[in-house]
Amino acid sequence: MAQWTLASTREAYGKALLELGREDPRIVVLGADLNKSTQTVHFAKAFPERFFDVGIAEANMMSIAAGLASAGKIPFCSTFTVFGVCRAYDQLRISIAQPALNVKVVCSHAGIITGEDGMSAHGIEDLALVLALPTFTVVAPCDAPETVSAVRAIARHPGPCYMRVYRPATPVVHTNGSPFVLGKAEVLRPGTDATIIACGSMVPWALEAALLLDGQGISCRVVNVHTLRPLDEDAILRCARETGAIVTAEEHLVYGGLGALVAQTLARTCPVPVEMVGLTRYAESGTPQHLLEKYGLTPRHIAQAVQRAVARKG
Amino acid sequence: MATTAGSKVASPWPQVTPTPLYQPNGRPDIPTLERIARIIRRDIVQMTALAGSGHPGGSLSAVEILVTLYFCVMRHNPSDPSWPDRDRFILSKAHACPVLYAVLARCGYFPVEELATFRRINSRLQGHAHIMTPGVEFSGGSLGQGLSFGIGCALAGRLDNRPYRVYVLLGDGECDEGQVWEGAMAASHYKVDNLTVILDRNRIQNDRFTSEAMELEPLAEKWRAFGWAVQEVDGHSFPALLDALEGARQVKGRPSIIIAHTVKGRGVSFMENNPDFHGRAPTPQELAQALKELGDEG
């Protein structure tokens, strides 16, 4: 594996939220007894009057946030993805999505790299579930710098927004700052034979896969789709037309996540071979590295998927 | 193409909007309030009959509660529904929207004749309350969320030093939902005293009597145990509701709840205390009978 500098996306979130709190008095933050883990504790210390810990009651948190938003506040709700999305899904739907209120849901501990806590703690359904709520903007930043940019972007963007971050520190892709624009895919690496479309924690592995493929004579483009809604369909179609094969990579179930979105887009206008790297089952306890290896989410697995996609090109 | 639902019933509302009954700076006397309640009840049965569906029972039980709030107690402006200092009414039991729509229309939030569009395509009057309707604060339809939402509104008002009060109407069957008790704990923990809950204790939920579906008693003791100031009143008595709402306003440092004992389907003999009319509209024949019993508008 390449040498990466590691940084924590949830710490980046916590710091960005603190800065936002200084700049905009409308920002309020809600937590559900996981404020150290989600890093909202920094905001809580600086602005105790604008911070509401509701205890272990995620449903209550989401509906309270909706009420705050209806009265002009910009609430950020944070807990783990499995609780914020799965536990409080009805509240996301009724209290937030249907009236399209200006609530920001930022959940940590996404993906299987949450690790040793096991399958109950692995947030691998969140993107599909939130994407099923049509008024939600959905963002999955790929590293700490992009997380900072994304937090600022969703705070400015009116309406419901969802963002996921991770428990362990992850590789820093944007060592010279993040050019994040909400809804605009970012081409990280040029290539002509295939495109890897990745989001979140899979983006650095996609870059490593492209390096592996260089050695095999396959020129592979890498695109970071940090915004799943609104999806940059133009960028995806351009990659399909120009490289003729697409591989998606996400630390999420392949059911209803990035791969499904990309395939849906391509099927309509530019059906090229698509391979999906993602999860198809629940994982288990283990270290992040052991889990990524066992469940097929490493650079090697992505590179193999690219080979399959390229082999299918007509 | 099928005919529109309920098309056998003609719209009873005039095409020319009557003068709103709401007087911003006046408090109607009791006979006037009773007349308004009668008009609202007529609107509810006609609206649901015309739509061919809807929830008349839990709308009729809450008539005096909403009339007291909107015509006597709340500071609100029908011509400026988003006035930041307005008092907020949250209909957590959002299926009872016929009573809310009738009250909003009679206050002047939108034309009374629009009540004829209830539950129809392209209408602003959805089958469950949604904020697309002028004056509706909360989109519901899945029970248990309105108290939490009201807490959010109340906390925002407190942060901004705004003078408004938040009123949340809960159903009694709705209290089966765990989130109600999450909200009850949180309101107490955060000492949300610019919030009043009115609980429509009509003793019937969708399938059957609340005592059969899930025993709620001792209900007042439960709320007291959660740290709330509790009052119990006759939910069809204007003087009792006015007293209780004023009493709730005086409570400082904790939230207050008024358990309003009501009769589901109140005002129409065959709907009263009848679980069948939780979620069923009157037939044209039943409508005629209901209107006869309710008496005319004057």
Tell me: the pLDDT tens digits for A120-136? Answer: 999 999 999 999 999 99
Write the pLDDT tens digit of every residue in A60-85: 999 999 999 999 999 999 999 999 99
| B199 lies within 8 A of chain A by CB | no
Torsions phi, psi of A184, nearest 5?
-115, 115
B157–A99 C-beta distance less than 8 A = no
Residue B188, exposed/middle/buried by CB under 10 A (0-12, 13-18, 19+)? middle
Q: Is B135 part of a structural domain of the chain? A: yes
pLDDT value at A165 more than 80: yes
pTM: 0.96
Q: Is B12 part of a structural domain of the chain? A: no
Give the closest residue to A268 by CA, choosing from A221, A231, A308.
Answer: A231
The shortest C-alpha distance from A253 to chain B (Å) reads 28
As a whole number of Å, the end-to-end CA separation of chain B is 40
What confidence score (pLDDT) does residue A134 get? Answer: 98
pLDDT value at A50 more than 50: yes
pLDDT value at B3 more than 60: no
Nearest Cβ partner of A67 from B144, B151, B190? B151
B140–A75 C-beta distance less than 8 A = no
Cα–Cα dist A209/A302, whole Å: 6
Write the pLDDT tens digit of every residue in B150-195: 999 999 999 999 999 999 999 999 999 999 999 999 999 999 999 9
Q: Is B13 part of a structural domain of the chain? A: no
A94–B141 C-beta distance less than 8 A = yes
For residues B26 and A206, the model is more confident at A206
Give the closest residue to A141 by CA, choosing from A153, A125, A158.
Answer: A153
Mean pLDDT of A155-183: 97
pLDDT value at B7 more than 50: no
What confidence score (pLDDT) does residue B20 get? Answer: 84
Band (pLDDT 50/70/90 cuts) for residue B296 is confident
Query: Could you list the residue range(s) of the whole structural domain that residue B282 is in?
Result: 30-294
For residue A89, the SS3 value is: helix
The residues of A carrying an active-site annotation are 58
| B142 lies within 8 A of chain A by CB | yes
| B226 lies within 8 A of chain A by CB | no
Q: Is B116 part of a structural domain of the chain? A: yes
Q: Are A172 and A207 in contact (CB under 8 A)?
A: no
> Which residues of chain B have a CB within 8 Å of the CB of A52?
155, 190
> Which residues of chain A have a CB within 8 Å of the CB of B84?
71-72
Write the pLDDT tens digit of every residue in B114-149: 999 999 999 999 999 999 999 999 999 999 999 999
Q: Which residues contact B106 (CB under 8 A, 6 or more apart)?
A: B20, B21, B22, B36, B39, B40, B43, B112
| B155 lies within 8 A of chain A by CB | yes
Choose from A50, A54, A60 for mutation: most chain B CBs within 10 A.
A60
Q: Is B18 part of a structural domain of the chain? A: no
Nearest Cβ partner of A63 from B84, B149, B178? B149
pLDDT value at B50 more than 60: yes
Write the pLDDT tens digit of every residue in A5-19: 999 999 999 999 999
Give the closest residue to A254 by CA, choosing from A181, A183, A202, A186.
Answer: A202
Q: Are A109 and A81 in contact (CB under 8 A)?
A: yes
Q: Is B51 part of a structural domain of the chain? A: yes
pLDDT value at B298 more than 80: no
> Which residues of chain B have a CB within 8 Å of the CB of A93?
142
What confidence score (pLDDT) does residue B24 get? Answer: 84
Q: What is the CATH number of the domain that holds B246?
A: 3.40.50.970
What confidence score (pLDDT) does residue B2 get? Answer: 38
B145 to chain A: closest CA residue: A63
A70–B153 C-beta distance less than 8 A = yes
pLDDT value at B6 more than 60: no
B178–A70 C-beta distance less than 8 A = no
Domains and CATH numbers, chain A: 6-171 (3.40.50.970), 186-312 (3.40.50.920)
A50–B139 C-beta distance less than 8 A = no
The CB density around residue A118, as the number of other CB atoms within 10 Å, is 15
Q: Is B25 part of a structural domain of the chain? A: no
> Which residues of chain A have a CB within 8 Å of the CB of B182?
54-55, 57, 59-60
pLDDT value at B4 more than 50: no
Q: Which residues contact B238 (CB under 8 A, 6 or more apart)?
A: B30, B33, B34, B64, B67, B68, B72
B190 backbone φψ class: left, alpha, beta (φ>0; ψ -120 to 50): alpha
Cα–Cα dist B200/A79, whole Å: 34
What confidence score (pLDDT) does residue B14 get? Answer: 78
Write the pLDDT tens digit of every residue in A245-279: 999 999 999 999 999 999 999 999 999 999 999 99
For residue A100, the SS3 value is: coil
The shortest C-alpha distance from B270 to chain A (Å) reads 33
Choose from B92, B124, B148, B189 for mutation: most chain A CBs within 10 A.
B148
Choose from B124, B130, B149 for mutation: most chain A CBs within 10 A.
B149
Give the closest residue to A220 by CA, choosing from A211, A228, A229.
Answer: A211
Write the pLDDT tens digit of every residue in B241-254: 999 999 999 999 99
Write the pLDDT tens digit of every residue in B72-128: 999 999 999 999 999 999 999 999 999 999 999 999 999 999 999 999 999 999 999
- Tell me what the pLDDT averaged over chain B comes to: 95
The CB density around residue A6, as the number of other CB atoms within 10 Å, is 12
Write the pLDDT tens digit of every residue in A212-250: 999 999 999 999 999 999 999 999 999 999 999 999 999
Mean pLDDT of B198-219: 96
B178–A59 C-beta distance less than 8 A = yes
Q: What angle do CA B85, A159, B180 make, to 5 degrees?
A: 65
| B159 lies within 8 A of chain A by CB | yes
B138–A70 C-beta distance less than 8 A = yes
Percent of chain B with pLDDT over 90: 90
* Look-up of token digits 């996981």: A34
B89 to chain A: closest CA residue: A67
Cα–Cα dist B13/B18, whole Å: 9
Band (pLDDT 50/70/90 cuts) for residue A2 is low
Q: Is B214 part of a structural domain of the chain? A: yes
What confidence score (pLDDT) does residue B297 get? Answer: 80
Q: Which residues contact B29 (CB under 8 A, 6 or more apart)?
A: none
For residue A191, the SS3 value is: coil
- If one counts the domains in chain B, the total is 1
Q: Which of residues 65-124 of B touch A (CB under 8 A)?
A: 84
